[in-house]
Amino acid sequence: MNRILVLNSGSSSIKFALYDVDHADASLSDLAMRYQGQFFGLGGRSRSLPGLKLKDADGKSVSSVAMDDLPDHLDHHDALIRLLGWIEATPELEDITVVGHRVVHGGQHYHAPVILDDATLTELEALSPLAPLHQPYSLEPVKSLARQRPELMQVACFDTAFHTTQPKIAQQFALPRELTEKGLIRYGFHGLSYDYINCMLTKRLGGDTGGRVIAAHLGNGASLCAIQDGRSVASTTGFTALEGLPMGTRCGSLDPGLVLHLLAEEGMSVGAVGDLLYNRSGLLGVSGISSDMRELLASDAASAREAVELFVYRIAREIGSLAAAMGGLDHLVFTAGIGEHAAPVRQAVCEACEWLGLTLDDAANQRHATQINRHDSPIGAWVIPTDEERMIAWYSARLAACH
Ligand SMILES: Nc1ncnc2c1ncn2[C@@H]1O[C@H](COP(=O)(O)OP(=O)(O)O)[C@@H](O)[C@H]1O
Ligand SMILES: CC(=O)OP(=O)(O)O
Ligand SMILES: [Mg+2]
């Protein structure tokens, strides 16, 4: 049997889980979850305080001394130290055999999960500038655990891997060929989430992939993925997870001329532009209030409304673009923090998709039902909670079984 610890550093959260896997060909749903937790609200971009949810297999809240007394401001590094402290102090975690990590950027060379060693770690660290809100915090616990427990097998599972099936035309920028060959291409992110959503939708549809699917991963990071016959064919994120939709603090797609303008005419340094685009834009920048959708939906401020409207408008436009790439749309799936919980956002997106034929069942949407389209809608609309941790545990178990 393998006991697998999973760590997932998101841009506003660190999610973690513990699974028992008792046979090599276990299916996703066979994995027995023992603990699941998350630090949320990291980085202080919203007015609400950071917090920690930790639950056991029955969904009962668990407390832990190592995690008590959270300060009002908690960043990823502090949260990781507390998490590693909890791992040290929890007897059930002593017999972990494998640790699976979400690593956002796999670059040109990593198309599938790998066992981490020093050489791989060095290559992945070199990709940190391409995912500054994620990669350093994914790799930090890899290094700490390698020091604490060198015997542990550690596995990296990549956000980019699911998108390697995309046709070249979907990955290519219109740049000179030599730059494309150097790997300056659109990689796409949130792939572990899309992989899981694809599995769950296929299960719901009795083994059918659903044909032409757009999955909307709307969390603090947000993107859309076109999944055709079970394979990623296009996505809104690109070389980095800045492209595409506006996000909690990230700008999404911009005219690159604007970046040149900031550098050349506004006299901003590269670092200052990076901070602007990664940390001070998106929902936070437009609203001037918060990066957190809950706070924006609860606010009466015109700027909060404008931020939500811009988010929805850009999602609707990108849905049109991805539907065009697939020659139509059969299913739209909402997932992640906003997609799973913000009924008004789903409603506004679905209303903007009426031209495609989609009609929403308002009552089903309000109660966060799994299927939210009306019976006569030719396009299915779904709310499917994502579970990147389970996907990572499954890949890690399969890799461990081969070694
Ligand atoms: N009930 C809710 N209503 C609206 N938005 C929510 C709700 N719960 C969570 N969210 C949004 O989900 C975001 C976090 O999503 P999540 O997918 O967990 O983030 P991360 O990108 O850090 O993994 C929060 O920033 C918040 O905006
Ligand atoms: C890639 C990315 O933006 O991830 P997250 O939404 O977890 O921050
Ligand atoms: Mg996430």
Say whether 362 is catalytic: no
Does the beta carbon of 368 lie inside 6 Å of ligand 1?
A: no
221 CA: nearest ligand 2 atom: 6
For ligand 3, a single-atom ion, the residues with CB < 5 A are 10, 219
Does the beta carbon of 159 lie inside 6 Å of ligand 2?
A: yes
Does the beta carbon of 11 lie inside 6 Å of ligand 1?
A: yes
Question: Is 3.40.50.300 the CATH number for 2-165?
Answer: no
Residues 6 or more apart in contact with residue 38 via CB below 8 angstroms = 13, 14, 15, 16, 52, 53
Interface predicted TM-score (ipTM): 0.98
- Ligand 3 centroid – CA 11 distance (Å): 7
Nearest to 161 by CA among 121, 189, 126, 201: 189
Catalytic residue among 22, 30, 56, 159: 159
Structure confidence by residue, pLDDT tens digits, 182-226: 999 999 999 999 999 999 999 999 999 999 999 999 999 999 999
- In the three-class reduction of DSSP (H, G, I as helix; E, B as strand; rest coil), residue 49 is classed as coil
Structure confidence by residue, pLDDT tens digits, 361-401: 999 999 999 999 999 999 999 999 999 999 999 999 999 99
Tokens of 311: 């988010």
Nearest to 380 by CA among 170, 184, 209, 193: 209
How is the chain split among helix, strand and coil, in percent rounded to 5? 40, 20, 40
> Picking from 21-25, 239-243, 308-312, which range would have the lowest pLDDT averaged per residue?
21-25
Structure confidence by residue, pLDDT tens digits, 3-46: 999 999 999 999 999 999 988 789 999 999 999 999 999 987 77
- Ligand 3 centroid – CA 10 distance (Å): 4
Residue having the nearest C-alpha atom to atom 6 of ligand 1: 338
Ligand index nearest the alpha carbon of residue 222: 2
386 CA: nearest ligand 1 atom: 17
Q: Given this chain, do its domains 2-165 and 205-383 carry the same CATH topology?
A: yes
Tell me: pLDDT of 65 over 70.
Answer: no
Sheet holding 98-103, edge to edge: 51-56, 32-40, 13-21, 2-9, 98-103, 153-158, 114-115
- Ligand 1 centroid – CA 248 distance (Å): 9
Domain boundaries, the chain: 2-165, 205-383
CATH number for the domain running over 205-383: 3.30.420.40
- Ligand 2 centroid – CA 10 distance (Å): 5
CA distance 32 to 395: 14
Residue having the nearest C-alpha atom to atom 8 of ligand 2: 11
- Cβ proximity of 105 and 221 under 8 Å: no
